[in-house]
C-alpha cells in the first residue's frame, strides 16, 4: 500500500513513538501530579519532557504556557471559546477548515461575535493588506487562520499578519494542523499570541494528542474544570498554567508517544523533513501537470506550500478517482471537501471537491512515479 | 542533623522543573508527598537540607520556578 494521506494522519510513525508508549504502559504506569511516589514522578517527568520538546520546537520560552488537548480541534475550540467575549469581532479567511469555521459560526449564530472573512485568491493565498483594511475600520479582538491549507497546502504569511494585528491591538490564533513538524513555526519570532496544533500529523505522535500555546499575558477561560492535582483544598479552579486548562487525567500514554515523535522531528530537523517532502511534491506537481485533463490547485511557487496537493481529473468525480487508486493501485489518498467547504469555493472546486495527496518523509520517488503512472492511466480511460 | 526545608510549589509542572534543575546541578533533594501541615497547593514537594538551601533557591529563581519554602 502507498500512503499519501498524511494530511489526515501521518503513517508510518517512527518506531521510537510506539517504544515510548510501550515503555509508559509496561514500565512507568503512574498518573501525573496525583501522588508523590516514584511511578507518579516518572509519569510527571515524561509529560514535562514532552512539553519541553514542544517548547523547543515552537520556540516557546516557558513550556507551562503550552497545554495538552486531545487534538487541534479541541485546541481551537478552547482558544476561540475561552478568549472571545460577547460583542467581540473576529477576522478569519475563506480557506479555513471547519475546526475553525464551525466554532466561529456557532458563536456568530448565538449573537456573541461578528465575523469578517478575508477572501483568498484562487491559489488559496491571503494578502496581509486585506487584514489591515478591516483592522483600520473595525475593532478586531482576534484573527484566526490556518498556517497552511489542508486542501491546497498554501502557506499563509502569518508573521506579517501577526505584526499587523499587533499594530492594531488585535490578537492572533494560528491553526498549525498542517505545519507543526513540517514547516518552521516560531511563536516568538512570528509574534503569535496563540498556536493550536495536533500531535498525530507531522509531529508523528499518536491520535488523541494535541496542544495549545497561549502567550503570557493572555488569559483564556477553560473548557472544562476539575481535578488538577494542585490546590486540592480549594473548590475553585486554579489560575496557574498549565493546570488551569488541563483538568482531569491527561492522555499520558499518548503524550509519551508524542514526546518521542517531537524528539524525532527535532533530531532530524524540520527543514530537512520539509526538504524530503517538498522534493517529492515538486516532482509530483511538475509531472501531474503534464497529464491531459488534470487540474492542479494551489500555488505554482513550491516555497509557498507544504506537501499537500489537490487535483481533479476532467470528467471524473474525485471519489471515483480515489476509489480506483485504492482498489487498482493500492494508493491511499483522500477525495472530497476535506472538511473545508469555503476553501473549495475559493479555489473553484465546490461542490465536487478534489483528490488530495499529502506526502510524508517516509514516502519515496518510486511511490510518486507509481501514482503518476496511475493518474495517467485513469485519465485515459474516459478519453 | 541539619534542618530540613520544604520547597512547595503550585503545580506539578513546577515540581518537575525544579527537580530537573537541581539534578543538573547535582544538588541533593527528594520529592515527597506534601505534609498536611504545610499546605496542599501541589501534592508533591521537594525536601532539601539547609546546607544546600541557598544554592538550590538561587537555581530555582534563575529558572523562573514558582515556589515558597517552609521549615519542617
Q: Check whether B10 has a pLDDT greater than 90.
A: no
Nearest to A340 by CA among A122, A93, A161: A93
Tell me the residue range of the domain where B11 lies: 4-71
CATH number where B53 lies: 3.30.70.120
* Distance in angstroms (rounded) separating the CA atoms of residues B56 and B26: 10
Q: What is the pLDDT of residue A34?
A: 73
**A277 and A307 in contact (C-beta within 8 Å)?**
yes
Q: What is the pLDDT of residue A234?
A: 81
Could you say which of A62, A63, A230 has the minimum Cβ distance to residue B12?
A: A230
Whether residue A359 sits in one domain with residue A302: yes
CATH number where A257 lies: 3.40.640.10
How many CA within 13 A on the CB side of residue B10? 15
Nearest to B19 by CA among A2, A9, A316, A46: A46
Which cell numbers hold the place of B70?
517552609
Number of domains chain B contains: 1
- Taking an 8 Å cut-off on Cβ atoms, the answer to whether A36 and B14 are in contact is no
Q: What is the pLDDT of residue B1?
A: 52
Could you say which of A34, A35, A230 has the minimum Cβ distance to residue B11?
A: A230
Could you say which of B12, B19, B40 has the minimum Cβ distance to residue A233?
A: B40
- Taking an 8 Å cut-off on Cβ atoms, the answer to whether A233 and B44 are in contact is no
Q: What is the pLDDT of residue B49?
A: 92
Lateral strand order in the sheet of B67-71: B30-33, B44-49, B4-9, B67-71
Q: Check whether B72 has a pLDDT greater than 90.
A: no
Give B12's contacts in chain A (Cβ within 8 Å).
32-33, 44, 229-230, 243
Sign of CA dihedral A224, A228, A230, A235: positive
Q: Check whether B3 has a pLDDT greater than 80.
A: no
Supply the DSSP string of A52-109, one letter for each residue.
HHHHHHHT-S-GGGEEEESSHHHHHHHHHHHH--TTEEEEEETT--HHHHHHHHHHHH
Whether residue A249 sits in one domain with residue A130: yes
Whether residue A294 sits in one domain with residue A243: no
- Taking an 8 Å cut-off on Cβ atoms, the answer to whether A229 and B43 are in contact is yes
The vertex-B11 CA angle with B6 and B13, nearest 5°, equals: 105
**CB contact residues (below 8 A), chain A span 233-262, against chain B:** 233, 238, 240, 242-243
Whether a cis peptide bond, with omega within 30° of 0, leads into A374 is no
Domain boundary among A250, A268, A286: A268
**CB contact residues (below 8 A), chain B span 18-57, against chain A:** 19-20, 31-34, 39-45
Residue of chain A with shortest Cα separation from B13: A48
- Taking an 8 Å cut-off on Cβ atoms, the answer to whether A240 and B44 are in contact is no
Domain boundary among A214, A246, A268: A268
Q: What is the pLDDT of residue A172?
A: 98
Q: What is the pLDDT of residue B40?
A: 60
A222 CB-contact burial (10 Å; exposed 0-12 / middle 13-18 / buried 19+): middle
CATH number where A360 lies: 3.90.1150.10
Q: Parallel, antiparallel, or unpaired: how do β-strands A66-69 and A171-175 relate? A: unpaired
Tell me the C-alpha to C-alpha distance, in Å, between residue A111 and each of A87, A97, A342: 8, 22, 21
Give residue for cell 488534470: A294
Q: What is the pLDDT of residue A232?
A: 76
Whether residue A6 sits in one domain with residue A29: no
Whether residue A276 sits in one domain with residue A256: no
Q: Parallel, antiparallel, or unpaired: how do β-strands A194-198 and A210-214 relate? A: antiparallel
Residue A361 contacts B, CB cutoff 8 Å: no
Residue of chain A with shortest Cα separation from B8: A230
Q: Respond yes or no on whether ipTM tops 0.90.
A: no
Domain boundary among A223, A251, A268: A268
Whether residue A258 sits in one domain with residue A351: no
Query: Which residues in chain A land under pLDDT 70?
Result: 382-383
Q: What is the pLDDT of residue B71?
A: 73
Tell me the residue range of the domain where A87 lies: 15-268
* Distance in angstroms (rounded) separating the CA atoms of residues A260 and A21: 9
Whether residue A229 sits in one domain with residue A196: yes
pLDDT band for position B41 (cuts 50, 70, 90) = confident
Q: What are phi and psi of A142, to 5 degrees?
A: -145, 140
Q: Average pLDDT, stretch B22-36?
A: 91
Residue of chain B with shortest Cα separation from A234: B41
Amino acid at each position: 500500500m502507498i500512503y499519501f494521506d498524511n494530511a489526515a494522519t501521518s503513517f508510518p510513525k517512527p518506531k521510537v513513538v510506539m517504544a515510548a508508549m510501550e515503555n509508559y504502559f509496561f514500565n512507568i504506569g503512574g498518573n501525573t501530579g496525583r501522588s508523590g511516589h516514584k511511578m507518579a514522578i516518572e509519569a510527571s517527568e515524561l509529560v514535562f519532557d514532552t512539553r519541553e520538546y514542544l517548547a523547543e520546537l515552537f520556540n516557546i520560552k516557558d513550556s507551562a504556557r503550552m497545554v495538552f488537548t486531545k487534538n487541534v480541534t479541541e485546541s481551537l475550540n478552547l482558544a476561540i471559546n475561552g478568549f472571545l467575549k460577547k460583542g467581540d469581532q473576529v477576522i478569519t479567511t475563506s480557506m479555513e477548515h471547519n475546526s475553525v469555521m464551525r466554532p466561529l459560526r456557532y458563536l456568530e449564530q448565538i449573537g456573541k461575535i461578528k465575523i469578517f472573512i478575508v477572501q483568498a485568491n484562487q491559489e488559496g493565498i491571503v494578502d496581509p493588506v486585506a487584514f489591515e483594511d478591516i483592522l483600520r475600520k473595525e475593532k478586531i479582538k482576534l484573527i484566526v487562520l490556518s498556517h497552511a491549507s489542508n486542501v491546497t497546502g498554501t502557506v499563509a504569511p502569518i508573521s506579517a499578519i501577526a505584526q499587523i494585528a499587533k499594530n492594531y491591538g488585535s490578537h492572533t490564533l494560528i491553526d498549525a494542523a498542517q505545519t507543526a513538524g513540517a514547516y518552521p513555526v516560531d511563536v516568538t519570532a512570528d509574534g503569535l499570541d496563540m498556536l493550536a496544533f495536533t500531535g498525530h500529523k507531522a509531529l508523528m505522535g499518536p491520535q488523541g494528542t494535541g496542544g495549545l500555546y497561549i502567550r503570557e499575558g493572555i488569559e483564556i477561560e477553560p473548557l472544562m474544570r476539575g481535578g488538577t492535582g494542585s490546590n486540592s483544598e480549594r473548590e475553585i479552579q486554579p489560575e496557574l498554567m498549565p493546570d488551569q486548562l488541563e483538568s482531569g487525567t491527561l492522555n499520558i500514554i499518548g503524550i509519551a508517544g508524542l514526546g518521542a515523535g517531537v524528539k524525532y522531528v527535532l533530531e532530524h530537523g524540520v527543514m530537512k523533513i520539509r526538504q524530503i517532502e517538498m522534493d517529492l511534491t515538486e516532482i509530483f506537481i511538475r509531472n501531474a501537470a503534464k497529464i491531459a485533463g488534470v487540474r492542479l490547485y494551489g500555488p505554482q511557487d513550491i516555497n509557498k506550500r507544504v506537501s499537500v496537493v489537490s487535483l481533479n481529473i476532467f470528467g471524473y468525480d474525485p471519489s471515483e478517482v480515489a476509489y480506483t487508486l485504492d482498489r487498482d493501485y493500492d494508493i491511499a489518498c483522500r477525495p472530497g471537501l476535506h472538511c473545508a467547504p469555503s476553501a473549495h469555493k475559493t479555489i473553484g472546486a465546490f461542490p465536487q471537491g478534489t483528490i488530495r495527496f499529502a506526502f510524508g518523509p517516509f514516502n519515496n520517488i518510486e511511490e510518486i512515479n507509481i501514482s503518476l503512472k496511475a493518474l495517467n492511466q485513469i485519465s485515459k480511460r474516459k478519453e | 542533623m541539619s534542618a530540613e526545608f520544604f520547597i512547595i510549589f503550585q503545580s506539578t509542572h513546577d515540581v518537575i522543573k525544579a527537580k530537573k534543575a537541581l539534578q543538573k546541578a547535582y544538588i541533593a533533594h527528594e520529592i515527597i508527598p506534601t505534609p498536611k501541615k504545610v499546605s496542599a497547593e501541589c501534592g508533591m514537594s521537594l525536601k532539601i537540607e539547609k546546607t544546600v538551601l541557598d544554592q538550590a533557591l538561587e537555581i530555582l529563581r534563575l529558572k523562573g520556578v514558582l515556589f515558597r519554602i517552609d521549615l519542617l
